[in-house]
């Protein structure tokens, strides 16, 4: 494996979660999972009724959180998730905004 092929140590991915995702504990569950995984970033409700989050950390941990967003907590009804890769910003703590 060359250095070009090596998996980066830190990635950042932003997600926008659509569906019945507000008022169901999504942000608190997301924060707990991110903290347990050692992932930084944030999560917030949008004015349009979605949940938006940014995850930054080890690729496998970020991928696992994005996968979790596709289902969310038990009361959520996720209709879809949009994702975009972003440049890491050095966030190491996960907060609810």
Q: What is the pLDDT along the chain (97 residues), one digit of tens a residue?
A: 444 545 579 999 999 999 999 999 999 999 999 999 999 999 999 999 999 999 999 999 999 999 999 999 999 999 999 999 999 999 999 999 9
Kindly calculate the radius of gyration of the chain based on its CA atoms and give it in whole angstroms.
13
Catalytic residue among 12, 13, 27, 33: 27
Tell me which residue of 7, 9, 4, 56 sits closest to 34, measured CA to CA: 56
Give the active site residue among 9, 14, 44, 45.
45
Q: What is the pLDDT of residue 1?
A: 42
- The answer to whether 45 is a known catalytic residue is yes
Active site residue 9: no
Q: What local confidence, expressed as pLDDT, does residue 3 receive?
A: 44
The contacts of residue 43 (CB under 8 Å, 6+ apart) are 26, 27, 30, 31, 34, 51, 52, 53, 54, 94, 95, 96, 97
Q: Name the CATH topology of 11-96.
A: Alpha-Beta Plaits (3.30.70)
Residue ranges covered by each domain of the chain: 11-96
- Taking the C-alpha atoms of residue 51 and residue 21, their distance in angstroms, rounded to an integer, is 7
């Amino acid at each position: 494996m060359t250095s070009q092929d090596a998996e980066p140590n830190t990635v950042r991915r932003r997600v926008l979660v659509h569906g019945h995702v507000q008022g169901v504990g999504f942000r608190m569950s997301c924060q707990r999972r991110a903290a347990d995984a050692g992932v930084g970033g944030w999560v917030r409700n949008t004015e349009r009724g979605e949940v938006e989050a940014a995850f930054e950390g080890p690729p496998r941990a970020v991928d696992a959180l994005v996968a979790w967003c596709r289902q969310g907590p038990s009361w959520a009804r996720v209709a879809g998730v949009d994702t975009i890769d972003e440049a890491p910003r050095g966030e190491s703590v996960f907060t609810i905004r």
